[in-house]
Structure 1
């Protein structure tokens, strides 16, 4: 049986919140840039690519920070979970 560790719970909630923030950011990016592309297509110049590229760069940086730098996924996340299990097992007297 695993014991409840408030620091782990807090960290898990913070990471989940960061991931949810990125997904919301991506959804807004898609919605707004779809609308801008439609407006741009009505004219003779296709200007919507510029805000899409700029904002896309920001979205990409946001994703790198959330999923790579802070250990929100991939190899680092699996290693952290392994270490967490080891630490919890060493504290459990039974």
Structure 2
């Protein structure tokens, strides 16, 4: 009950402030700012993107390895359930890849 009441109160506060924002005078249109990228800034941006992609690839590979390890352990413990474990593993790896 307390969560619902606080969510309702927050919604009323946000909706109450929306009228004030809509009644404000429109701001003067400013000239678009030119962003100058020199070669150093562009290089840093590219290197940051490369590092982020590497971290994501390592995390994805680690997760796939852990999933495969768990599936192999499950099959080793209960060979009769290997078909169900294999289907679940393939679906899980497909979800990780996508």
Taking structure 2 as the reference length, the TM-score comes to 0.48
